[in-house]
Amino acid sequence: MEDILPPTYPSGCQSNTDVPTKTCSGAYVHERCWEGSYEAWRRSQFEENVMKTSLRVGSIVIGLFALAALCNCAFAACPSADLNGDCLVNFLDFPLVASEGSLLELHTLAGQWLESDEEPLTILGRADIQTDEPNSFAVELVVVDKRRVDRIVFEYECEVILTNLSAAAFDNVQLVMVAWPDNMTIIDPHITFGDAEIAPGESATAIDTCTFTVDRSIAIDPLEIVWRYVTAPQDVVFIASGTFEMGDTFSDSEGSSDERPVHTVTLDSFYMGRCEVTNRQYCDYLNSALSQGLITVTNGRVYEGWSGTSYPYCSTSTADPDSQIAYSGAVFSVRTKNGRDMSNDPMVSVSWYGAAAYCNWRSQQEGKEECYSLSTWDCDFSKRGYRLATEAEWEYAARGGLSARRFPWGDTISHSQANYWSLWDGGHPKFSYDVSPTEGGHPSWDDVFPYTSPGGSFEANGFGLYDMAGNAFEWCNDRYSTLYYRSSPANNPTGPITGPYRVLRSGYWAFYAYHCRVADRWNETPATRHYGIGFRIVLPD
């Protein structure tokens, strides 16, 4: 913005103390002249010019006094908020607000906020309004830490503050940043506020901080920041819609031929289980399903209730000593092995049928539509209940916002990042991208067979998902075909229509680094029950 240097004083003023003031709409209030210095006059002119150019932002409005009350700011340059004036602000397009109370041009202030070593500035994002969620809240980001990543890229850690502007209280609040400027990279867009209630008019600070990087060679546009209020269960994570390159992006000699060609896929947003379904969760399902007659138990094996032995769901320890589920006296329970409670380990030795049936049961428990027909085992994607992930959804989620990487976090893997088998040859790992200092199974979880680890034992990926590499294989909804990538639809692919096998992803605790790559594909018959196979849930947005 041009610097404002007045060649002469305005008409009616003979000195720098005689400059008339205006309302925000541009009309003179009276001939009272500015009391202050020449610099103060220049600043008032700058602020007035900015208000004219940056505050005409929409039809859903609040006055600056309301916004000032929200931000604890005072706007001396705007003494009133006329419904026909320029000082009105679209609720969906909050401007940046300086902490000292001065209204500055948006991009200028964004730069000051990023560069400031003084008290951090605050920005307000836009609310992404949905018909089934609260439409009256404000989000502030306050910089609490920053560092230079390279010459033009900086990383910022921000405190997130939510203000409830509605008439109803909020509780169990989760937010997700669903859009941001092109020059920003969000490390994890998911923010939680705990289970404390946020009353109308009150504010709360998130448990998490929001961390992102910014390319400082491009001006940040704060109006492109969009927040979404998440009303889903606590054990799922919102995955924003997006486009990615699916398949093995490395050399043809690294991955299998069924991982190629690399192809562009666009997906709608969805929710995914933060962790793999646990033994405790599946045990709760089994006891409920047994009481409803949805399952039967024959020789320690669980089957669909009306199919005889055609559709096996899982095995209990009576039939398979490797199972972590016990069955006695018509009650299912989670086993304790060598003194360790296995409740939070992933449920394994479960078939694709058993995973799909669990999804239907959970939908029933929460009053959602059931996606699966338990006679044909087809999935109705128009239903809004729980289901297994499509193969494309799984890979997109596993990548966690990264592109052209082997694993959910980067290009190498070690036992500090995942529960897998580090294969060594000649005193060092066989695969160049396996950098684990320990050979074989994970040293922390090799005491109780099967050697699974509790969900959340390692860091989450960029989307907040745990164990997207190793620990347990995960059933996907798709049927498997080696040639599917050659003809896969570009938008929301759901796999081949026919085929005897179902897709598995992620590798497991006894598989090598090669099979823990995000592009790796595996398959088994849907009746397979194996001590390395589990699943996680998906819920359409």
State residue 16's pLDDT score: 38
Instruction: Report whether pLDDT(236) > 60.
Output: yes
Q: Which of 292, 285, 271, 283 is nearest to 317 (CA)?
A: 283
Q: How large is the angle between the packed helices 352-365 and 279-291, nearest 10 degrees?
A: 70
Q: Which of 467, 475, 432, 399 is closest to 247 using CA atoms?
A: 399
Residue with more model confidence, 257 or 170: 257
Query: What's residue 224's pLDDT?
Result: 72
pLDDT (tens digit per residue) in 451-472: 999 999 999 999 999 999 999 9
User: What tens digit of pLDDT does each residue of 27-39 get?
Assistant: 322 223 333 333 3
324/342 Cα distance (integer angstroms): 7
Unique residue bearing structure tokens 């998911």: 190
Extract the tokens encoding 533. Answer: 């196979």
SS (H, E, C) 266-280: EECCEEEECCCCEHH
Rounded to an integer, the average pLDDT of 299-320 is: 95
Kindly list the domain boundaries of the chain, sorted by start residue.
1-90, 113-231, 242-541
Determine the 3-state secondary structure of 16 from DSSP: coil
Please give the backbone phi and psi of residue 222, each rounded to the nearest 5 degrees, phi first.
Answer: -65, -20
C-alpha R_g of the chain:
29
User: pLDDT tens for residues 483-537?
Assistant: 999 999 999 999 999 999 999 999 999 999 999 999 999 999 999 999 999 999 9
100 or 537: whose pLDDT is higher? 537
Mean pLDDT lowest for which of 85-89, 237-241, 403-407?
A: 85-89
CA distance 245 to 257: 16
Of the candidates 12, 78, 10, the one whose C-alpha atom is nearest the C-alpha of residue 42 is 10
Q: Give the per-residue pLDDT at 123.
A: 55
Residue 97: predicted pLDDT? 31
Q: What is the pLDDT of residue 126?
A: 56
**Which single residue is written with the structure tokens 């199974």?**
441
Mean pLDDT, to the nearest integer, of 399-412?
96
State in words which class domain 113-231 has.
Answer: mainly beta
* pLDDT reading at 45 higher than 60: no
Report the range of poorest mean pLDDT among 119-128, 157-166, 209-218. Answer: 119-128
**Percent of the chain clearing pLDDT 70 (strictly above):** 74
Q: Give the per-residue pLDDT at 58.
A: 28
Token pair 């390692």 in the structure block, residue: 458
List helix spans (H) across 371-467.
391-399
- Assigned CATH for 242-541: 3.90.1580.10
What totals of helices (H) and strands (E) does the chain contain, helices first?
Answer: 6, 30
Pick 48 or 182 by higher pLDDT: 182
How many CB atoms are closer than 10 A to CB 156? 21
Is pLDDT of 22 > 90?
A: no
- Decide if 324 contacts 330 (C-beta within 8 A): no
Distance CA 316, CA 452 (A): 17
Q: Which residues pair with 186 in a beta bridge?
A: 212
Is residue 409 pLDDT above 90, yes or no?
yes
Closest by CA to 205, choosing from 161, 145, 144, 140, is: 161
Whole-number pLDDT of residue 127? 59
Indicate the pTM of the whole model.
0.69
Which contiguous run of DSSP H or E holds residue 247? none
Say what the pLDDT of residue 79 is: 28
The amino acid at 170: F
Residue at 20: amino acid letter: P
**Measured between alpha carbons, how far is 378 from 371 in angstroms, rounded to an integer?**
8
Mapped onto helix, strand or coil, the DSSP state of residue 352 is helix
The Cα 509–Cα 519 span in angstroms is 17
